[in-house]
Chain A
Amino acid sequence: MHELGVVFYVIRDVKAVAEENDVTRVDCVTLEIGEVSGVVHELLRDAWKWAVKKESLMADAELEIETIPAVTFCEDCKRDYPTVEYGKTCPHCGSNHTFLVQGNEFIIKDMQVE
């Protein structure tokens, strides 16, 4: 997966927000990541530690990760269910006409700054 690439995007966006808000130092960034976004948290944290060191504005910034649970909706029986447990097949009626309603997110939630 593209953990390092994603970290670069986060740093780009955080720097833009910091500039708009006269921030001198970023202490912590909180991300909200969908359960099935495919991002491996361990790899993301490693990439983060490596990449922020190069940024004077956020050289020691911490990374917090909050998980958004994955939910799939069934078009046949109109109910939803946890994606990770049941995958593409609806546990209520066995249908495959299902789609993901949440769990694919990758959001910068907030940042603690000085």
Chain B
Amino acid sequence: MGDVRVIEVKQSVFAENDRRADALRAELKAHGTFLLNLMSSPGSGKTTTLAATFKALRGRLNMAVMEADIDSDVDARAMDELGVRAIQLHTGGMCHLDADMTAQGLRGLEALATPDAPIDLAILENVGNLVCPAEFDTGASANAMILSVPEGDDKALKYPLMFEVCDVVLINKIDVLPYFDFNLERCRERILMRNPHAKIFPICAKTGEGIEPWADWLVASVRAWQA
């Protein structure tokens, strides 16, 4: 038996991740790459929204995508078919992505960049849930989430942290509003109660309705990041 002693640590478990996330952000800024962390529940329309966003940005921004499905590559392949540079991240069953996993993914994306098509905008499709991803800084330049109409207008009440950390909330599937008791104004108020600075864009990813203001926000944010 050795000598028993106590070492004071007093260290936040998230501190190390926060440090790595800040380092990654600084590196991205130096490279002129804007990283958007996109979060949502499963099936809210992330892949469909990314496809519509890609079309709206054509000729304005060079976009690439990292897909973080737990165990499949269907989303990465769907992106590939549209001509979007995409890679699949392996989360190893984790319920969220952290700064290290994101940095690894970015190295994979860098390999797909060329001098005439650099990556201005990298979008990270995070693991589909509204709790865990909100707790870990990925090193992103901005956070966005998609809330779809069938999920209900009370989500900002039930998942406060997610709405606090997001710069943008996309309200998707507005084409089905007539069939749900989803009140767009009430939803907006609840989001702003959690986060007065949130930008809110109602969209229909399927038809592209409402995508233009969102694409404009992305262009302005990326240009500001690169300035």
Q: Which residue numbers of A lie inside 8 Å of B, CB to CB?
A: 1-2, 5-6, 9-10, 12-14, 17, 21, 23-25, 27, 38, 88, 96, 105-114
Given A2-B132, A5-B95, also A21-B7 (CB < 8 A): yes
- Mask, B1-45, CB within 8 Å of A = 1, is 111111111111110110000000000000000000000000000
Given A38-B131, A113-B7, also A6-B13 (CB < 8 A): yes
A108 touches B131 (CB 8 A): no
The residue in A5, A96, A110, A112 that gathers the most chain B C-beta atoms within 10 A of its C-beta is A5
- Grouping DSSP codes into helix (H, G, I), strand (E, B) and loop, the A interface class, with mixed when no group exceeds half, is mixed
Q: Beyond A105-B12, A106-B13: 18 further Cβ-contacts under 8 Å?
A: A2-B96, A5-B96, A9-B16, A12-B16, A13-B16, A17-B9, A17-B11, A27-B4, A38-B135, A88-B160, A107-B10, A107-B13, A108-B10, A111-B6, A112-B6, A113-B5, A114-B3, A114-B4
Q: Does B193 contact A (CB under 8 A)?
A: yes
A71 CB → nearest B CB, Å: 16
B7 touches A1 (CB 8 A): no
A108 touches B9 (CB 8 A): yes
A25 touches B2 (CB 8 A): yes
Out of A9, A21, A24, A38, which one reaches B13, CB within 8 Å? A9
Q: What is the number of contacts between chain A and chain B, taking CB atoms within 8 Å?
A: 72
Residues of B close to A113: CB separation below 8 A: 4-7
B4 touches A112 (CB 8 A): yes
Count of chain B residues near A, Cβ 8 A: 24
B8 touches A110 (CB 8 A): yes
Closest B residue, CB atoms, query A107:
B12
4 nearest A-B pairs in the assembled complex, by CB-CB distance = A114-B2, A108-B9, A2-B132, A106-B13
Q: Does B74 contact A (CB under 8 A)?
A: no
Residues of A close to B96: CB separation below 8 A: 2, 5
A109 touches B10 (CB 8 A): yes
Given A5-B95, A38-B131, A96-B193, also A106-B12 (CB < 8 A): yes
A97 CB → nearest B CB, Å: 9
A24 touches B11 (CB 8 A): no
A24 touches B12 (CB 8 A): no
B2 touches A24 (CB 8 A): yes
Residues of A close to B17: CB separation below 8 A: 9
B7 touches A13 (CB 8 A): no
Q: Does B94 contact A (CB under 8 A)?
A: yes
Out of B7, B9, B135, which one reaches A2, CB within 8 Å? B135
A13 touches B6 (CB 8 A): no
